[in-house]
Amino acid sequence: GAGVSQSPRYKVAKRGQDVALRCDPISGHVSLFWYQQALGQGPEFLTYFQNEAQLDKSGLPSDRFFAERPEGSVSTLKIQRTQQEDSAVYLCASSPPASLYGYTFGSGTRLTVV
Amino acid sequence: AQSVTQLDSQVPVFEEAPVELRCNYSSSVSVYLFWYVQYPNQGLQLLLKYLSGSTLVKGINGFEAEFNKSQTSFHLRKPSVHISDTAEYFCAVSDLSFGNEKLTFGTGTRLTIIP
C-alpha cells in the first residue's frame, strides 16, 4: 500500500477485555516499530521487529502486552486484561532495508479503556 | 540513557512571524536527531533529521534546525510561519546503541499560529 495502515482507527474496551491492534506496513519494509502515545505526551517505544524476528521488546510495559509479526509483514499488538492506564494512541511505523531512520508512521489506533 | 527536553509546551506566534522551537538532549554517545510534526488525529511526519555532516539541516515546509554539540541542542526554526503550521512538534533522539533505530521523543511543543 501507499502508507502504513492501522486498524481499527478507534477502539473502546471495557476494563479487563483483551484487544488486538493491527498494523499493515508498507510492502517491502523489513523494520517495524510500535510506539505508545499517552495524552499530551510524546510517543514511547514499545517493541521492534526485523522481518518476523522481535529483536527488542524492552519497552513493553507489562506481560499483558504482546506483539507478533509471524510472516514478516502484518503485525498485531495484543493487550490482555486492559486497564485504564492502557488508554493511549498506539502508533506503528515501518522502515525499508538499507535506510537509516526511514520511518513512515501510521495514523495510529486510539484505545480508550472504560 | 538518553533523554529529550522540549522546554516550551505551547508556543503562540503571529502569522508570518519567525518561530523557534527549542530542543535539548542528553546522551553519553553520539546521537542522531529528528524533528517530527503531528497534525490532529494523524501520525507523525518527519520534518528533518541530523545524521552527520553539516550542522544546519534543512527540512520540508521551510523548516530548518541547527545541531549544536557543545550546547546539546537541536532547535527548530522557521523564518515566517503560516496558519497551516499549526500542529504539535516533537524532537527525538536515537543512538543505535540498542542495535536498532528506536527513537526517544520529547513531550512535544504545540505551535499555534495567530491570524
B9 touches B112 (CB < 8 A): no
Tell me how far CA of residue A92 lies from CA of A76, A111, B102, in angstroms. Answer: 10, 14, 12
What pLDDT, on the 0 to 100 scale, is given for residue A91?
97
CB of B115 less than 8 A from some CB of A: no
Angstrom distance (rounded) from CA B87 to CA B47: 12
pLDDT average, residue stretch B61-66: 96
pLDDT of residue A99 exceeding 90, the answer is: no
pLDDT average, residue stretch B15-41: 92
pLDDT of residue B103 exceeding 60, the answer is: yes
Residues in B touching A60 (Cβ below 8 Å): none
Closest chain A residue to the Cα of B38, Cα to Cα: A107
Angstrom distance (rounded) from CA A64 to CA A52: 20
Window 57-86 of A, Cβ < 8 Å to B: 58-59
Which triple of cell numbers denotes residue B26?
Answer: 542528553
Confidence of residue B48 (pLDDT cuts 50, 70, 90): very high
Which triple of cell numbers denotes residue A102?
Answer: 526511514
Residues in B touching A103 (Cβ below 8 Å): 44, 46, 101, 103
Query: Cell 546503541 maps to which residue?
Result: B97
pLDDT of residue B110 exceeding 60, the answer is: yes
Percent of chain A with pLDDT over 90: 90
pLDDT in tens, B76-88: 999 999 999 999 9
pLDDT in tens, A25-35: 999 999 999 99
A101 touches B51 (CB < 8 A): yes
Angstrom distance (rounded) from CA B19 to CA A82: 41
Angstrom distance (rounded) from CA B10 to CA A50: 36
Mark yes or no for CB contact A31/B101 under 8 Å. Answer: yes
pLDDT in tens, A49-95: 999 999 999 999 999 999 999 999 999 999 999 999 999 999 999 99
Distance of CA B10 to the CA centre of its chain: 14
